Every structure is written in structure tokens, then in C-alpha cells.
Amino acid sequence: MKISIKSEKEINKMRVAGRLAADVLEMITPYVTPGISTGELDKICYEYIVNVQNAIPANVGYKGYEKTICSSVNQVICHGIPDNNKILKNGDILNIDVTVIKDGWHGDTSKMFLVGECAPHNKRLVKVTQECLYKGIDAVKPGAFFGDIGYAIQKHAEKNYYSVVEDYCGHGIGTVYHEEPQILHFGKKGTGIKIQEGMCFTIEPMINQGVKYSKTLRDGWTVETKDGRNSAQWEHTIAVCKNGAEVLTKRNDEFDLNEN
């Protein structure tokens, strides 16, 4: 299968979907406080997407998943299932990952939340992981290679004594949620496929405080670090433009995000 190239008209639809996905993360932010459950956060996001955005929560029914968001706390790397019994507590770090479908097109994004007052080592993990995402985005331009993205992310993570999760990756996105290519968050400069204008994909590094290895829990979804130490993730959907990446899921708190 070939990597699809989106037209300007199609990217316009991706811009709408991306903006909606970013809006969900902005909307939910004030609710993320000690004492709320991840199940409640999921319900609020579902109602917002369906009733306010008139859009579709892409995760519902995806490969049997039943929730709108993934809510991954502390040692959970990704795909944490929202649960009314999972109450957030002071000091937790949380990733909320949401994908919205509008007019047939997908926008996929996630961000980290510091719940209450967090320990310096957790704040540092969250910050460095966001920097990894931005360094990956900065590596995107027509003529560069997918390996350049992974290289930039891995270099920054390892410089900070963290490890990059290799078991999960970013992905092409459009009318299909997960399409080709796979975007690895580690790698070597100048390797892999050449990046072309009109490609749309996610970059979503998962960075661990300890070892890179993961395990899936018996619920079939929740992915945790093998050593029980914490993990963080940030995700954007981007479109490749003439001079670099356009971040389709940019939030308002990202005012200084370099747009080529």
C-alpha cells in the first residue's frame, strides 16, 4: 500500500477535525483535578463531541474499545480505559488521548495533565516528553526522512536519561484512523521513506523514566511499563506543507509552537 497524499481541500477537512480534537482537550482541562474519576472525564468528552461538536468519537467501537478517551495514569503508557472507580489523586500524571471524526476525517491528539501538585521528577518527564514531540515535528519537511523524526525524538529522550517505547508508534491518518506509514519514535537520520508534501500523520512519542519495555494488562488494552516506573505521551496530528509541518491539533496554550 502507498502512503496517501492529501489535497488542499482534504487538508482543509483535516484542519476542521484537528481543531475539534484540540478543543476537546482544552474543554476538559479545568475538570482534571484530584477527586474526579477517569470515567467522569470520559463521559464529559463524549457528551461534548456528540452534542456540542456534532462529531463522532472515533475510539468508540474501534476494535471493540468502548470509551471516548484513553486515560493513562502514571505507569500506564497508553490505552488506559476510563473507569468510574479510577479516582485521580494529587500528584498523578495523566494522559488524555482523543480522536474526533468530522465529515469523515480524523483528528487525533493527546496531552499530559499534572494532577494537583506533582513531584519534580514527574514534571520533568512530562516536559521532556513534550519537547520530544516538538523536536519530532521540527524534523518534518518535504525531502526529509521518517527516520529523522525518530532520531530527533530518541536523541532528546536519551540525553535526558529516559527511554523511548518501541512497541507503539504514530501513524498516517485521514479518512482512515490508522493508515500507512508507521511513524517510529526512534531511529537513524536519513533512513526510511522520504517525507512528501500532502502527507498527514501523527507523532505521539511515549517516553519512560525507566526501561523501554511494556506489557499489556489482562483487560486487553491497558499498556503499562514493565518496571512500573512512570511514562508520558503527547500527540499531534500534522500535515506536511511546503516548508515543514502544520500542526492540525494545535491548542491555544501552544502559542509559541513554531509553524514553519
Q: Tell me if 106 contacts ligand MF3 by CB under 6 A.
A: no
> Phi-psi category of 35—alpha, beta or left, where left has phi over 0 and alpha has psi -120 to 50?
left
Q: Which does 70 bind (CB under 5 to 8 A by kind): Co ion, ligand MF3, none?
A: ligand MF3
Q: Rg of the chain over CA atoms, in angstroms?
A: 17
Query: Which residues in the 232-251 window bind ligand MF3 by CB under 6 A?
Result: 235
Q: How many alpha carbons lie under 13 Å from residue 145 in its C-beta half-sphere? A: 12
Q: Which of the 8 DSSP states describes residue 145?
A: B
Give me the least distance between CB of 102 and ligand MF3, in Å please: 16
Strands 163-164, 200-203: pairing is unpaired
Contact present, 239 and 245 (Cβ < 8 Å): yes
For residues 142 and 195, is the Cβ–Cβ distance under 8 A? yes
Q: In this chain, which of 23, 42, 92, 108 binds ligand MF3, going by CB under 6 A?
A: 108
State which of residues 53, 59, 71, 122 lies at the interface with ligand MF3 (CB under 6 A).
59
> For residue 205, is it left (φ>0), alpha (ψ between -120 and 50) or beta?
beta
Q: Which of residues 188-217 bind ligand MF3 (CB under 6 A)?
A: 204
Contacted entry of ligand MF3, Co ion, none for residue 10, CB cut-off 5 to 8 Å set by kind: none
Task: Give me the 10-49 binding string for Co ion, x by CB under 5 A, dash otherwise.
Answer: ----------------------------------------
Q: How far apart are CA 64 and CA 61, in angstroms?
A: 5
Considering beta carbons, is residue 108 or 224 the nearer one to ligand MF3? 108
> Which of Co ion, ligand MF3, none does 79 bind, CB closer than 5 to 8 A by kind?
ligand MF3
The reply to whether 31 sits near ligand MF3 by the rule CB under 6 A is no
